[in-house]
């Protein structure tokens, strides 16, 4: 199984400041035949179901604000919120869809400082 390790477990950021979340996979998620990273980020707000934010490591889902960006390739990935807003308080999960079983990171809780 591919193990997804997120860091930090939680972070507190001031409104308008940058938040950075990291995710490392135990094996490469780059599929050679199409040169795509089979990697996604989700946001789960309190009491809600998860919402897809980013796929192919860096493609924003329709409707997702451009303050959210994804980067990285292979085994190391980053989610950046460029200017944290109050509505961004949530737990963020990374996920690999390269192989079964699909696996998620443990989550990173983002709060307002």
Partner 1 sequence: EVQLVESGGGLVQPGGSLRLSCAASGFIFSSHWMHWVRQAPGKGLVWVSRINTDGSSTTYADSVMGRFTISRDNAKNTLYLQMTGLRAEDTAVYYCARRGMTTVTPFPFDIWGQGTMVTVSS
Binding site for partner 1 (CB under 8 A): 34, 38, 40, 42, 44, 49-52, 55, 61, 93, 95, 97-98, 100-107
Pick between residue 38 and residue 84 the one whose CB is nearest to partner 1: 38
Pick between residue 24 and residue 51 the one whose CB is nearest to partner 1: 51
Cα separation, 14 vs 98, in Å, equals 35
CB burial of 35-61 (b: ≥16 within 10 Å; e: otherwise) equals: ebbbbbbbbeeeeeebeebbbebbebe
The DSSP call for residue 113 is: -
Cα separation, 1 vs 52, in Å, equals 22
Tell how far CA 90 is from the center of its chain.
Answer: 12
Cα separation, 100 vs 113, in Å, equals 38
Pick between residue 39 and residue 81 the one whose CB is nearest to partner 1: 39
Q: Quote the least distance from Cβ 10 to partner 1, whole Å.
A: 13
Pick between residue 17 and residue 111 the one whose CB is nearest to partner 1: 111
Q: Quote the least distance from Cβ 45 to partner 1, whole Å.
A: 12
Q: Quote the least distance from Cβ 93 to partner 1, whole Å.
A: 6
Q: Quote the least distance from Cβ 80 to partner 1, whole Å.
A: 19
């Amino acid at each position: 199984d591919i193990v997804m390790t997120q860091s930090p477990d939680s972070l507190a950021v001031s409104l308008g400041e940058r938040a950075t979340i990291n995710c490392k996979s135990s094996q490469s998620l780059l599929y050679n035949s199409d040169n795509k990273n089979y990697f996604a980020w989700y946001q789960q707000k309190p009491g809600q179901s998860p919402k897809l934010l980013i796929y192919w490591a860096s493609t924003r889902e329709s409707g997702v604000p451009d303050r959210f960006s994804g980067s990285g390739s292979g085994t190391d990935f980053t989610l950046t919120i460029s200017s944290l807003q109050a509505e961004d308080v949530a737990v963020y999960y990374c996920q690999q869809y390269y192989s079964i079983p699909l696996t998620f990171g443990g989550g990173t809780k983002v709060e307002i400082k």
